[in-house]
Structure 1
């Protein structure tokens, strides 16, 4: 059978059909942009201190009941303790003045037994203030983000395999529905436990529909349009969605209202089912030639073109079915079966892990970079679109963003159609391990201020060196079979001389 790109050359690259697929798939990425980092605002820790109930205290004792502590060389009111209320009440009743008649350092302190009072100058409420995730329960604040990314991890792992088995389109819409419904359900969470369960399920669809949309567009589009979509289209759509997040959060400062705003846009994408087709490449890999031809003929009508009488060669269909559908069902373990695929997979997983750890570590840290978290978040999102950085951290974020965008395109180009979504899903699964530990990685600054950045920098250098051992995919057609993937040659360096071998060279194109 002819190469897919050659067989579909009659469609052109930028007709009405390709334009619809390109822009609708990019539009479907928008909710991922503002959904992935909503935790920056949902789980931010507002200013807080112990609640002092209405008791008969003098004005001086009302001001002095919260101890003053030195944090990083600055004096701050304690967030997790107060002087014992009964003792302070007796001293106030005796008419004693704090600091003059009573040495405050000698007074016994107690925990916030009556709860906390939260500042409302930035947020009306967050998940932290709703469920009191402070002081002894402060570990729940970063763990909330980790639970969400664990959901993303599980979703990435299974959605990739399901997509290769049942198709790109059904998994794309199913994961989008999961993300929308359970984000909406989280609004009504009565407790932190319930919220985390719903957040985990919402995470199942968060990146899964992104990966499905990415692979779907990569396989439908051809030529330079495919490169434009995979390297810039989805990345810009994600970045613009990310830039909308601080705008929503600024006007909706209540966490439940923000969740509602994040879930509603998902309903707008339901009609896309009738406009976005299944991947013809995937249909061909499953031997469904008639369905693939039907999609291509409909695409020709939209482009106002005449499809050829015979799109695929009938005399090679039976042989191609044997090649495209081996007796053994391809699963995630096929990514480790042979030495060539195994080395490619392990290196890619290492790079994905590094990029995700750094990307989410810096992104989740944006609320601490500026007194106004909305400004910090917008700058962090804008740096994904342009190259103007205002600080070293934003420059690092730009590099990680660029690397992530390229890795999506690179991974999809390395693996064959029968394993493409499984491979992409597996790599993103490993990357989610990095995003799961990112909230806790930031806590390393308590031991040494620059330790998180040293850790991320070391991982980045090691991963950059490992990529030198990956094969090149530039200018080559997408592989359809594992055999075609095996024949890809590693990138060569002009400064390195290799010994000539008499073994014959088999070109990748000759196998199509």
Structure 2
């Protein structure tokens, strides 16, 4: 494809308008498709929660009990009201465990407590391992075979695997299916985001990403809390979360393939068809769209050399793309770790888990609306910097708060959640604008892979909280501060057109690093 063709397409998008009937329809449908992405990734909050438990043989003999959820017994009085003397720490449970009947999770199903407690973070990490593989696989497939097939394939994959997973007969089968279910999460969200970004103007692109898709994921998180409140069994909860995705499959006949991707593959007639359909729905004459605009040549002349295939190596072949990719990988690693870490930590906070989940969803929604209001008023790197720095400083302050002041700790955690949601929501828009069309999904797939590595690690960071409740927040906070500083090196894409070719990628702002180093040196001296 030539630069003139892409420039013509940009003018066509301008003629179609920002918020025509066609764009609004596509925005609504694409946003609906990502609602499951809001709850499928954080299902462990409820299906892997650890209910109160007690050893069965301790209950039978009644010489030892102690508090619920203890791996070692304590001697108690006859009415089990108060522990009076510790038992021998070598006493272990041999007859199995009895769990509270308030909820039925995989922990109570397979007794994943005490010496088996390590299996809980493993099962969550397996899901994000699938997300990592999906980022690598589907990013490449989307750039090669199209955005639309990958979008609907991942929607179907998430639904079918969740249904099969609800029939898991053991923990190993559950983990394998968890990995398979994770394959489609990020690919579904990213591909949906890219389809909208590549066929809409700047304003509509912002609204789709922040008010549409990101808010849709927070709605999904709120729906999860509501479903979990009424469905206390993990198997039926999986079934209930799998069913909605099947209603999105008929969108295949409405959601189009990205015309920008079609042009990059030389499939001009199909791109024309998509744009003509949009023009008719927006009541614009097709001749204004497809043939001549200010005497520009039509998009009809292409040779086989235009159909070049791009791969992962193209992301590091040039200096600009290499810098964007390296910085992006670390920023996505940290932002995803902190975002999912704070989300999954909801169950560990004091108070009602369902209420905490709702507050978490409301905080996330508010963050996305706040981002939408700011996104065109400040540069993209500045927004990422401020949000991550705010998150980091808020979480580091928790160290100064006494552990018995639960309310203040919760306020600080939800404040950090607010900041991490801003960074998490804006990074998709930011990096979709940084990468050229020919490698956009591949590039997002690579940086999202780094993000998934962070998500894989976050359950183990949370698991540290069983021994030191403050340490996970200190880890999240420290990494957020480092990522915030590095984000200042990225180029700003505000008010810029989407790059299409590799040589259009913007250079990094290394002069910012030089200024920062000089500032620190002068202050230190």
The TM-score normalised by the length of structure 2 is 0.82
Return closer, same or farther for 1:373/1:83 CA change in 2, 3 Å cut-off. closer
More deviation in 41-50 or 229-238? 229-238
Secondary structure class of the residue paired with 1:244: helix
Q: More helix by proportion, 1 or 2? A: 2
**TM-fit CA distance, 1:133:** 0.9
For residue 155 of structure 2, the aligned residue among 176, 185, 208 is: 176
For residue 343 of structure 2, the aligned residue among 363, 373, 376 is: 363
* Structure with larger Rg: 1
Contact 2:125–2:459 (CA under 8 A) maintained in structure 1:
yes
Counterpart CA distance in 2 for 1:320 and 1:393 is 56
1:78-106: CA deviations, max 9, x gaps? 6334599xxxxxxxxxxx9999xxx9767
Q: Does 1:129 align with 2:128?
A: no
**TM-fit CA distance, 1:113:** 1.2
Instruction: Note the residue ranges of structure 1 that are not aligned, 5 or more in a row.
Output: 56-60, 69-75, 85-95, 497-512
Contact 1:471–1:489 (CA under 8 A) maintained in structure 2:
yes
**TM-fit CA distance, 1:53:** 8.8
Report the equivalent of 2:140.
Answer: 161
For residue 241 of structure 1, the aligned residue among 207, 214, 220 is: 220
More deviation in 311-320 or 145-154? 311-320
Secondary structure class of the residue paired with 1:384: helix
Q: Does 1:378 align with 2:348?
A: no
Report the equivalent of 2:29.
Answer: 24
Contact 1:98–1:104 (CA under 8 A) maintained in structure 2:
no
**TM-fit CA distance, 1:385:** 1.5
Counterpart CA distance in 2 for 1:392 and 1:105 is 36
More deviation in 255-264 or 390-399? 390-399
**TM-fit CA distance, 1:157:** 1.3
Counterpart CA distance in 2 for 1:454 and 1:286 is 47
**TM-fit CA distance, 1:311:** 3.5
Secondary structure class of the residue paired with 1:472: coil
For residue 458 of structure 1, the aligned residue among 453, 478, 490 is: 478
Q: Does 1:115 align with 2:104?
A: no
Count residues in correspondence.
Answer: 463
Q: Does 1:333 align with 2:313?
A: yes
Return closer, same or farther for 1:78/1:443 CA change in 2, 3 Å cut-off. closer
Counterpart CA distance in 1 for 2:286 and 2:500 is 23
1:214-261: CA deviations, max 9, x gaps? 111111211311121123321111111111111000000011110011
**TM-fit CA distance, 1:29:** 1.1
**TM-fit CA distance, 1:110:** 3.3
Counterpart CA distance in 1 for 2:352 and 2:476 is 25
Return closer, same or farther for 1:129/1:425 CA change in 2, 3 Å cut-off. same
Return closer, same or farther for 1:53/1:396 CA change in 2, 3 Å cut-off. closer
Counterpart CA distance in 2 for 1:441 and 1:298 is 50
Q: Does 1:35 align with 2:40?
A: yes
Q: Does 1:217 align with 2:196?
A: yes
Q: Does 1:13 align with 2:12?
A: no
1:189-230: CA deviations, max 9, x gaps? 110111111111011012211111011111121131112112
Secondary structure class of the residue paired with 1:117: strand
Contact 1:82–1:109 (CA under 8 A) maintained in structure 2:
no
More deviation in 270-279 or 199-208? 199-208
Report the equivalent of 2:210.
Answer: 231
Report the equivalent of 1:444.
Answer: 464
Contact 1:164–1:419 (CA under 8 A) maintained in structure 2:
yes
Report the equivalent of 2:386.
Answer: none
1:382-413: CA deviations, max 9, x gaps? 10122699601111111110011110000000
For residue 202 of structure 1, the aligned residue among 181, 201, 207 is: 181
Instruction: Note the residue ranges of structure 2 that are not aligned, 5 or more in a row.
Output: 371-407, 516-525
The TM-score normalised by the length of structure 1 is 0.84
Q: Does 1:50 align with 2:55?
A: yes
**TM-fit CA distance, 1:52:** 3.2
Return closer, same or farther for 1:492/1:127 CA change in 2, 3 Å cut-off. same
Counterpart CA distance in 2 for 1:453 and 1:384 is 18
For residue 404 of structure 1, the aligned residue among 421, 424, 429 is: 424
Q: Does 1:80 align with 2:95?
A: no
Report the equivalent of 1:92.
Answer: none
Counterpart CA distance in 1 for 2:87 and 2:46 is 39
Taking only aligned residues, the RMSD between alpha carbons, in angstroms, comes to 2.9
1:415-435: CA deviations, max 9, x gaps? 111111111111111101001
Q: Does 1:265 align with 2:244?
A: yes
For residue 185 of structure 1, the aligned residue among 164, 172, 176 is: 164
Contact 1:50–1:117 (CA under 8 A) maintained in structure 2:
yes
More deviation in 7-16 or 189-198? 7-16
Counterpart CA distance in 2 for 1:98 and 1:343 is 66
Contact 2:13–2:200 (CA under 8 A) maintained in structure 1:
no
Report the equivalent of 2:329.
Answer: 349
1:160-180: CA deviations, max 9, x gaps? 111000000000000111000
Report the equivalent of 2:522.
Answer: none
More deviation in 235-244 or 277-286? 235-244
Q: Does 1:433 align with 2:445?
A: no
Report the equivalent of 1:504.
Answer: none
Return closer, same or farther for 1:105/1:429 CA change in 2, 3 Å cut-off. closer
Counterpart CA distance in 1 for 2:268 and 2:482 is 44
1:363-398: CA deviations, max 9, x gaps? 111011123111111111110122699601111111
Counterpart CA distance in 1 for 2:214 and 2:89 is 56
Counterpart CA distance in 2 for 1:166 and 1:175 is 14
Contact 1:10–1:307 (CA under 8 A) maintained in structure 2:
no
Report the equivalent of 1:89.
Answer: none
